[in-house]
Amino acid sequence: MSQKTRKKKWSLRYTGGDKDIDAKIKALSTETGLGEVVTRLLYTRGLDTADAVRSFLHKDEVCFHDPFQMQDMDRAVERVEQALERGEKIAIYGDYDVDGVTSVSLLYLYLTSRGGTVGYYIPSRSREGYGLSMPAIDRLKNEQNVQLMITVDTGITANAETEYAKSLGIDTVVTDHHECHAELPTACAVVNPHRPDDAYPFKELAGVGVVFKLVCAMEIARAERNGETRISAMRKACLAYGDLVAIGTIADVMPVVDENRLIIALGLDLITKTNRPGLRALIDAASGANTAKKRKINSTFIGFGIAPRMNAAGRVSSASIAVELLLSEDAATAEELAEQLCELNVQRQVEENRIAEQAYKKIEQTMDPTRDRVIVIDDDTWQQGIIGIVSSRITERYGLPSILISFDGSTEGVPIMTDLGKGSGRSVRGMNLVDALAHCEDLLVRFGGHELAAGLTIQRSNIDEFRKRINEYARTVLSDEALCGSLDVDCEVGIRDLTMNLAKELELMEPFGISNPVPCFMLSNARVNAIIPIGGGKHTKLIVEKDGIKMNAIWFSVNPVDLPFEENDPIDLLFQLNVNEFQGVTSLQMIVQDARVNPAYEKIYEEQVARYEAICAGDKVEECENVIPTREDFVPVYKYLRKEYYNGHNIFTVRRLMGSLRGNDGRCIGYAKLKFIIRIMQELRLCEVDEPVKDTYMFAFQFQTAKTNIEKSSILRKLKTQLRRG
């Protein structure tokens, strides 16, 4: 099964040409003072009036909802306040990802600021797995004499565990944001906007967002007791913890709409001027060589710079390292912890690449793309903390839901059928992964998660049946069209539209994320001037040109050898506009999302291939087709190939040669003529030619001074007999 079996479909929100819409966009641009490109973006995203645009850009369209609208919030506040008043020992039980770490840190900081006796517990991903466990509850009772346990970013499916805690005299308040099973835990309070009976107006809070709402509710209750306003209570909570809420929300890839848009905007501003030693140390460590200059703090930096380092703690070591970093009040300690997280992240990257390569081999050997809709693979050596991000890579690569299962640590020596494996999965739009797992519930020990990401525990003996069953389910909900994958494109632009002013206006639309994605543009029919490997060949730099303007384009995680085009090809690009600062020079560059040969050119190329094959089969040749080569046509081809050969380049595709060579009429040489020239050169022994793959040639040259008469070629003589006379 090849990763190239499914090309992604490009879906343009705006194609242009509708006079009424174009007139509205132009009028809206005039009224708001924004450029037409940004106005076009906003219009196609549903902001079609000046008031709507201003409200969105100034974030006036959202406000924080009343936390007490969330079911059980009053009961949660009452029980936590009771614990603080009584001096009870409180344990915060969290998850090991960034959402869980920020949730634990936020609640710990708040409760200790209120004088609480507080500890926290985050299970080991490899030894204990996700969620509450009875052995962990035993430790909380026996070693810490905990009386109240507050779960954060977990607990919504822990029915048996909360019952067990109750039997030991531990009350539980559940705060979570994962999808609920039919029966809720019997806890003092279950706070989760996804509860079927919950009327809270916004369902897409991260786990840390739910914790934040609990803190806001507690502050509002205090303010009302003290005769203060709700607004002052909310302001206090935002200023104290907005940075942590933003980090967890971005890292958990929650939709940047409604409250989340406000949370992230406020949080990013706080992070930029943070006084937290741990957060400042991690920002500096993630910035690397850029530490000396002020780093732009946005969602991208948090998502790709801060979050992976915090996540690495829970993946390959202990999530408590990340918690201690956020809680740290000492700069020296914070720097040590930040450096430790960076080192763990490097370890994570190495292990991730190892697992990914092994997974790709398994998939290529076992998957049937005509039958399988879900990739399910397992291994005894994969580190459980890494398989989730590898699953993301696999789903991105193949366009299919994927589930990776690890039996690492479950057995020693020969595997046995009762071994328990832990799995992590990612899905695509069109298949809710939690629903799919529920369809196979009788085969699983436990499962839980979100629509597009979930975890599970399964016995080895059930894997084959699970693979069969989940694929049967997927075939009922996933069409071939859905599996093609779609890239949403805001609009097509000209290369002259790409200016620094446009980049500045795009910043007004931040923060970006799910439901408010970074704008994606299309540039069509740009010529590839150069293809340059960077990062040791892991990434590719393109220099593209259109209308006499050149621009750099970076395509991350794509090796030049895997590009679907050659130098000099006309291509269409999907890209995000980026401002690059290097050695004091600021310039625009494209961050490529996808690229393809321009369809019009591709069609012409395919027609030329078909025509060449028809001529080879005996079709008559029209003189106007210009496919019969003359001696003047051979000269630039021969000189170019010989020069490249002596410079160490001897492998070329026909397409690359077509773009690099010119015929005697000054135009790019056509497919048929070039193919005949190469065949004739081989026939006349002007060079050695091998064609290991269709239309890919290997050339070898020997120096010779004697001129060659091309009229001796039997290929050329036959070709001339096919020329239609008159």
3-state secondary structure of 305: helix
Length of the chain: 726
Residue 614: CB atoms within 10 A of its CB come to 13
Q: Name residue, tokens 């992590």.
A: 424
**Token couple for 494:** 């000209």
Q: What is the pLDDT of residue 316?
A: 87
* Residue 125 and residue 45 share a domain: no
CA separation, residue 640 to residues 1, 243, 529 (Å)? 38, 59, 17
Pairing state between β 148-152 and 549-555? unpaired
Q: Which domain CATH number covers 395?
A: 3.10.310.30
Q: Residue 208 in contact with residue 153, Cβ under 8 Å?
A: yes
CA separation, residue 696 to residues 150, 542, 690 (Å)? 64, 22, 8
> How many angstroms separate the CA atoms of 543 and 552, rounded?
5
* Residue 251 and residue 111 share a domain: yes
Angle in degrees, CA 287, 387, 393, rounded to 5: 65
Q: Is residue 6 part of a domain?
A: no
3-state secondary structure of 578: strand
* Residue 615 and residue 580 share a domain: no
Q: Residue 188 in contact with residue 149, Cβ under 8 Å?
A: no
Q: Is residue 195 part of a domain?
A: yes
Q: Is the dihedral of CA 583, 584, 587, 589 positive or negative?
A: positive
Which one, of 190, 191, 136, lies nearest residue 168 by Cα?
A: 136
Q: How many domains does the chain have?
A: 6
Give tens-digit pLDDT for 116-128: 999 999 998 878 8
* Residue 263 and residue 203 share a domain: yes
Q: Is residue 362 part of a domain?
A: no
Q: What is the pLDDT of residue 1?
A: 41
Domain end residue (candidates: 554, 579, 597): 597
Residue 239 CB contacts under 8 Å (≥ 6 apart), including other chains: 270
Pairing state between β 402-406 and 375-379? parallel
β-sheet with 117-121: strand ranges across: 117-121, 89-93, 148-152, 171-175, 189-191
Which one, of 3, 133, 98, 194, lies nearest residue 389 by Cα?
A: 98
In one letter, which amino acid is 71? Q
Q: Residue 121 in contact with residue 133, Cβ under 8 Å?
A: no
* Residue 181 and residue 304 share a domain: no
**Token couple for 627:** 């496919």
* Residue 76 and residue 138 share a domain: yes
Which one, of 520, 656, 537, 535, lies nearest residue 595 by Cα?
A: 520
Q: What is the pLDDT of residue 481?
A: 67
In one letter, which amino acid is 634? F
> How many angstroms separate the CA atoms of 698 and 678, rounded?
11
Q: Is residue 226 part of a domain?
A: yes
Angle in degrees, CA 217, 221, 224, rounded to 5: 135
Phi, psi of 312 (to 5 degrees): -60, -30
Residue 599 CB contacts under 8 Å (≥ 6 apart), including other chains: 572
Q: Is the dihedral of CA 179, 141, 321, 123 positive or negative?
A: negative
Q: What is the pLDDT of residue 188?
A: 97
- Expressed in angstroms, the distance from the first to the final Cα of the chain is 52
Q: Residue 552 in contact with residue 578, Cβ under 8 Å?
A: no
Which one, of 527, 502, 648, 517, lies nearest residue 588 by Cα?
A: 502
> How many angstroms separate the CA atoms of 183 and 562, rounded?
49
Q: Is residue 118 part of a domain?
A: yes
Q: What is the pLDDT of residue 227?
A: 92
Burial 152-188 (b: 16+ CB within 10 A, else e): bbbbbbbbebbebbeeeebbbbbbbbbbbeeebbebb
Q: Which domain CATH number covers 697?
A: 1.10.10.10
* Residue 478 and residue 495 share a domain: no
Q: Is residue 355 part of a domain?
A: no
Q: What is the pLDDT of residue 478?
A: 87
Domain end residue (candidates: 484, 505, 539): 484
Domain end residue (candidates: 455, 484, 513): 484
Q: Is residue 530 part of a domain?
A: yes
- List of the chain residues with pLDDT < 70: 1-6, 60-62, 289-294, 369-370, 409-414, 481-482, 484-485, 662-666, 704-705, 726
Which one, of 430, 427, 348, lies nearest residue 392 by Cα?
A: 427
Burial 205-240 (b: 16+ CB within 10 A, else e): bbbbbbbbbbbbbbbbbebeeeeeebeebbebbbeb
Q: Is residue 61 part of a domain?
A: no
Note the pTM of the prediction, 2 decimals: 0.79
Q: Name residue, tokens 């291509």.
A: 571
* Residue 258 and residue 140 share a domain: yes
Phi, psi of 680 (to 5 degrees): -70, -40
* Residue 109 and residue 201 share a domain: yes
Q: How many CA atoms lie within 13 A of 281 on its CB side?
A: 24
> How many angstroms separate the CA atoms of 294 and 683, rounded?
64
Chain center to CA of 126 = 25
Which one, of 710, 566, 571, 568, lies nearest residue 651 by Cα?
A: 566
Domain that holds residue 580: 487-597
* Residue 316 and residue 216 share a domain: no
Q: Residue 323 in contact with residue 104, Cβ under 8 Å?
A: yes
**Token couple for 275:** 């006084």
* Residue 605 and residue 590 share a domain: no
Pairing state between β 171-175 and 189-191? parallel
* Residue 421 and residue 529 share a domain: no
